[in-house]
Amino acid sequence: MADGDLSFKIGPDQVGVRLDTYLASQIEGWSRARLQRLIENEDVLVNGKIAKPSYKLRDGDEIEVELVATPTDVFTPENIPLDIVYEDETLVVVNKPAGLVVHPAAGTPSGTLANALAYHFQKLPGTGVRPGIVHRLDRDTSGLLVVAKTDAALENLSDQFRDRSVYKSYVALVHGRVQSNSGKIDQPLARDPSNRTRMAVVRAGRNALTLYRVRRAFDRFTLLDLELKTGRTHQIRVHLAWLKHPVVSDETYGGGRDNTIQDPRLRARIRALHRHFLHAEKLGFKHPATGKFVKFESSLPDQLSELLTALEGPTGGPPWPPVR
């Protein structure tokens, strides 16, 4: 999940209420009819499965809602450049830049990757504003995304993501020196009870597992390789913040650590990123047509690479040897 998602857990007081009726009472500014279209477009899951608007809620049900624009909203193909890493008759792998939202959602009706895909590929599977889109990245996360070009590929890839058989590897620069060369963060995530726009480690949340390994250690920063075993909203960023090593330039979960950097040149350079230092570097899955496991890789954007170069100089302190 990504920005614009909501999650709810049903208690005894909501048992027997229709799904669409319940959501209309919980989501401000969204009519029941509009939410019904959202449910019908499979953008609402109950216990991880597709449901109907008439579904009667049960105690303990977990609801995930993706607040995407509906097909009746304005959706126009736009000539936005695409960085295509690989393409065949079945799928296309794109390298998403930071700052680009994956598809229209509340507050972002246009200028998204979905608008670009609709322009460059006239016939993609899926509904309305989600042409061929199987998974997402946060707005300010760059890196690899796979897009289905056929109905069969969309179903196949969606199943692989649902079954957690897709290999997803990220690279992040975090504050502080991570002491362990490798480890895992196994902490449940849910909406922050005090701020619904944020995620947080919550005891009653959904299981989330992130593996990490130190790629390079600097004096006051650490470059990490991260593998996602689950795909929760903001998972890496929240997990690393919980570990007390927030992602550099993450204004939402950084806890103000960027402001504690004493060197003014380095602090200014990080502020100039206007994005967090998180990149979806590697993506692997079974090709829907051949069944063969395929893997793709995207190098760090220049802006992030240049920051690493700066850290090797006096501003970042001497780098420590990479972990072998």
**CATH label of the domain that carries residue 277:** 3.30.2350.10
Q: Which residues of the chain have pLDDT under 50?
A: 1-3, 315-318, 320-324
Using alpha carbons, list the distances in angstroms from residue 240 to 75, 160, 255: 36, 26, 11
Domain assignment of residue 240, given as a range: 167-311
| pLDDT at residue number 73 | 54
Residue (of 207, 318, 192, 315) closest to 252 by Cα position: 192
Q: 190-241: per-residue pLDDT in tens?
A: 878 788 778 899 887 888 999 999 999 998 999 999 999 998 889 999 999 9
Question: What confidence score (pLDDT) does residue 175 get?
Answer: 97
Whether residue 304 is found in the same domain as residue 181? yes
Q: Is 302 a residue of the active site?
A: no
CATH number at residue 39: 3.10.290.10
Of the candidates 112, 158, 119, the one whose C-alpha atom is nearest the C-alpha of residue 135 is: 158
| Phi, psi for 79 (deg, rounded to 5) | -80, 75
How many structural domains does the chain have?
Answer: 3
For 296-324, how does the pLDDT look when each residue is reduced to its tens digit (9 = 90+)? 999 999 999 999 999 986 544 445 444 43
In angstroms, the CA 74 to CA 118 distance is 13
Q: What's this model's pTM, rounded to 2 decimal places?
A: 0.81
- What's the pLDDT at 320? 46
For residue 316, being part of any structural domain is answered with: no
Single out the catalytic residue among 3, 5, 138, 250: 138
Contact 14, 46 (CB under 8 A): no
Same domain, 149 and 235: no
State residue 81's pLDDT score. Answer: 96
Pairwise CA distance, residues 40 & 23, whole Å: 14
- Residue 1 has a pLDDT of 41
